[in-house]
Structure 1
């Protein structure tokens, strides 16, 4: 028997039209999108399916992505009867994982990330912070270079050969030069609206902690792996502190996958727009099964599970 992980992508994977077939062709998908619209006070289908500028603005992106991921997941569970043995999500995707694990209700996950997006958007004025992807340099070398610098840190351990750094714009630009000199193949500035997963967002994390006080948390029905620790969370009292810290801490995605691999997971199903996590999987562990669910017909690939 396969051990299956549901994994969910984060911000940046969104695109206009994501999830539209799930909305138009399934009752479950339509209900989730329409419920999200009622909770949020604006049309989530319009946000996700029609070309607009808001979809790439953090305060809207996060609610759109989590609604889409949850809708796809619930349709998959209902129509294919597939349940994960474990679950995890990259950054924003962790909220879909929490819903999959039964830790947070679908509605609370959507409402919470709406507030999370607003807080992250407002935390740092546009242009003050920045992020960059560092390619083809060992994480240990990047850590060594950054250890002697202020105002910049690792934001994402995505996979071997791809690390994202974040912080003050000038510090990130200086770090890029030093990392290229240290052997990085490329250092690419990212088109993002803030220095996410850096200490510059500590205030946003603390404000999210206040929001989370009003959110009901249940014990995980399915094990899930937290970004901050790359370890399973079994104690529900740890959920809120970890979600607060996640906003300004490194996302340990590669380490999270390695935790699941060590637990015998051999099948990973990426649920959500794009194929970002599947691309990372090819560099972390090539010998496992990886599936993408972003269109209804993609579920046909899972007939043998």
Structure 2
């Protein structure tokens, strides 16, 4: 069975999507529509902007979403997922690609999400840290014992967990985790504590937008970050999407469940190859590939 997976923030690169724009009339039409919806020329930033320009929150999330979704749409009949999943932001790409959300509604929600997260980051300084080489249970236990807000945020693959929270609590947790034998406990260059209780203001803001958006039944199950299980019910999809900003990304568990449900081949749709690397670390037997417009042109 074919699983299609969609990357999240951090996968962006300068020039992303330009090949699609230049070689596919459909892609060109969708990129121009995106410029109209967003009210600024995101294509200029994607195609010619610097790495610094692409880091701007209002740009990063829509840019990755657009690259992933437009690439999926240019694959035409070759895009036949038996199941889909996306890492954090990538869940929105997966929902559009599987028909649960329209392109326009997906883009509007992603733009609102980016701005709501930015506002939440500005309310209180916070950060995230990558922890390598420890069992998940050890990391969770250390987080529980630290004063202040610090939680497990991204279960990326066995031995790689990202924690999220207040700056002092993250720094303290990193010290303790190193004492417990972590190979690395490294504060990440991010703007805030994503997938933690500190995103509650953003969750509330996005909840209203999601509630007012029409969702359809997806063409195949989507394995959502919050539950790591196959979901096809629209109301469940909505509820999980709202919870996603303050809940952990259960990527390890999602991939394990997809494999248990029959996935043998994972195709990453969008910029970068981060998710393919994680899938291989979760299960070495799984086949992985990047979706490529060229081979389908």
* Partner of residue 147, structure 1: 144
Aligned length: 295
In structure 1, the partner of 2:181 is 183
Correspondence for 2:254: 256
The partner residue of 1:193 within 169, 173, 191 is 191
* Whole-Å separation in 2 of the counterparts to 1:73 and 1:191: 30
Kept in 2: contact 1:11–1:92 (CA 8 A): yes
Mapped to 2, the partners of 1:234 and 1:271 lie a distance apart of 20
Alpha-carbon distance, 1:234 to partner: 2.3
| Mapped contact 1:126–1:194 kept (Cα < 8 A) | no
Answer whether contact 1:126 1:193 (CA < 8 A) is retained: no
1:128 aligns with 2:125: yes
Q: 1:127: how far off?
A: 7.4
TM-score normalized by the length of structure 2: 0.96
- Residues 44-63 of structure 1 mapped to structure 2, 5 A cutoff: 44-52=42-50, 53-63=52-62
1:66-85 residue CA offsets vs partner (Å, 9 max, x unmatched): 11111111112x1x523100
Partner of 1:103: 100
- The equivalent of 2:201 in structure 1 is 203
> What is the rounded CA distance, in whole Å, between the counterparts of 2:127 and 2:38 in structure 1?
29
Asked whether the equivalents of residues 99 and 217 of structure 2 are also in contact (C-alpha less than 8 Å), the reply is yes
- The CA deviation at 1:5 is 0.7
Instruction: Tell me the residue number matched to 1:82.
Output: 79
256-265 or 29-38, which deviates more: 29-38
- Decide whether the 8 Å contact of 2:72 with 2:79 is kept in 1: no
Structure 1: segments with no counterpart, 5+ residues: none
TM-score, structure 1 normalization: 0.93
Any runs of at least 4 consecutive aligned residues in structure 1 with deviations exceeding 4 A, and if so which? none
Provide the residue aligned with 1:160 in structure 2. Answer: 158
Contact kept, 8 Å, 2:220 with 2:232, in 1: the verdict is: no
Q: Which residue of 1 aligns with 2:63?
A: 64
SS at match of 1:34: helix
1:33·1:68 contact (CA, 8 Å) conserved in 2? Answer: no
CA distance in 1, matches of 2:162, 2:63: 23
Structural RMSD (CA): 1.5
Spell out, residue by residue over 1:25-46, the C-alpha distance to the aligned partner (whole angstroms, 9 max, x if none): 1112111111111111111211
Q: Specify which of 229, 232, 235 is matched with residue 231 of structure 1.
A: 229
C-alpha distance in 1, partners of 2:207/2:57?
18
Judged with a 3 Å threshold, the aligned counterparts in structure 2 of structure 1 residues 219 and 54 are, in CA distance, closer, same or farther, namely same
Question: What SS does the corresponding residue of 2:164 show, helix, strand or coil?
Answer: strand
The residue matched to 1:167 in structure 2 has which SS? strand
- Post-superposition shift, 1:275? 0.8
